[in-house]
Structure 1
């Protein structure tokens, strides 16, 4: 025989259930209010999307390196002259003004990308990885796959050139002509007598094949005697010397990092 619950007991259970429902409604209402209060608050994302970078026109890697340029000089009378010519107006610049214009580019290297091209941002990363410059640098894209990399510190440029072959910037360089005309290379003079490892002799031998830059440390210290080694700037459009003659003795010249030199025509880069 089952006993029916008393009305008092039933009312007690009902009261508890109603209280629970009421509490749940209050909690749900509070949570909904909290959700609605945060729903309209914008959350800023500090990371810019690739689309945003493109829309802005610049990415993080495109920001200019910290660099303080020299002040522009006052243009004197005669520095810039415009006159009439048969084919139209002609502008002429004074030698002093051209010298000032060229001065900031003396610490620049010309880079030619051969084969698959890389992006402007990727080039910066490559430069930092391969050359490891200590000071700020800038890269400028030109026609025909050329870039100019300009260094703030001339020491960085010299480190790059001596690890060449790279072309130092010259006032005659024109990207539209599409040719590497000069390069910095290490040159070996094979079989030079050890007693001739003298600064003036080695500088003179270097000047016989190009513009002398420096002597290799091992050559300076005479701890390597198979060849004397110097760094020079060579003109690749001119005949390259395959031999040099010193005091009646002939020594073979080996150019590091550039193709085989043809001893018939003196030029590089052909069969």
Structure 2
């Protein structure tokens, strides 16, 4: 037994009239477009040889092991977009480098608000510097900062 015996009649009489033809107006600021790269990193490999994008997608995700996962997309040859699903995963990758694949260093950076991923400049790479045989009197944080700034920028 049908719950609404006259449903076909009701649908036949359904119409959109004047009061329902109003324009849809969004109130407030729509941030989706602005923040669409907020959880993304963009990276480029320092190499002249071709990079196997399928191998990168499986190997990098396996190395990083993000808790909530990562989506990897090749934007152009050698330039990749890494979309994370949790802020801690993104920050762990940003701070955990340097990263490499097949002896090619990965330059990686976040995307600023309003910036296009393909226009992110790759000018720097965070690396650890290890200095051997440093006299014990020089094993101070201030000396480490000065040495770091001598080679580049201490982080």
TM-score interval (norm. to shorter)? 0.5 to 0.7
TM-score for the superposition, normalised by structure 2: 0.52
Of 103, 128, 145, the match for 2:35: 103
Structure with bigger RCO (C-alpha 8 Å, 6+ apart): 2
Q: Secondary structure at the match of 1:103?
A: coil
TM-score (normalizing by structure 1): 0.33
- Listed as ranges, the gaps of 5+ residues in structure 2 are 1-23, 99-107, 130-137
Give the structure with the higher percent helix: 1
Query: What is the root-mean-square deviation in Å for CA atoms of aligned residues?
Result: 3.7
**CA contact 1:162–1:186 (8 Å) conserved in 2:** no
CA distance in 1, matches of 2:63, 2:74: 19
CA contact 2:42–2:117 (8 Å) conserved in 1: no
Which whole-Å deviations, capped at 9, do the CAs of 1:127-168 have from their partners, x for residues lacking one?
Answer: 123212122211122135211101111111111011125312
3-state SS in 2 of match to 1:254: helix
Unaligned ranges ≥5, structure 1 = 1-73, 80-95, 189-224, 229-243, 245-250, 267-271
Change in CA separation of 1:186 and 1:226 when aligned onto 2, cut-off 3 Å? farther
- Classify 1:128/1:117 alpha carbon distance in 2 versus 1 (closer, same or farther; 3 Å): same
Deviation at 1:118, TM superposition (A): 2.3
Q: How does 1:58-207 map to 2 (within 5 A)?
A: 76=26, 96-97=29-30, 99-115=31-47, 116-143=49-76, 145-165=78-98, 166-171=108-113, 172-175=115-118, 177=119, 179-181=121-123, 185=126
- SS at 2:146 equivalent: strand
TM-aligned CA distance change 1:182 to 1:167, over 3 Å: farther
Select the structure of larger CA radius of gyration. Answer: 1
Going from structure 1 to structure 2, the CA distance change for 1:118 and 1:187 (only over 3 Å counts) comes to closer
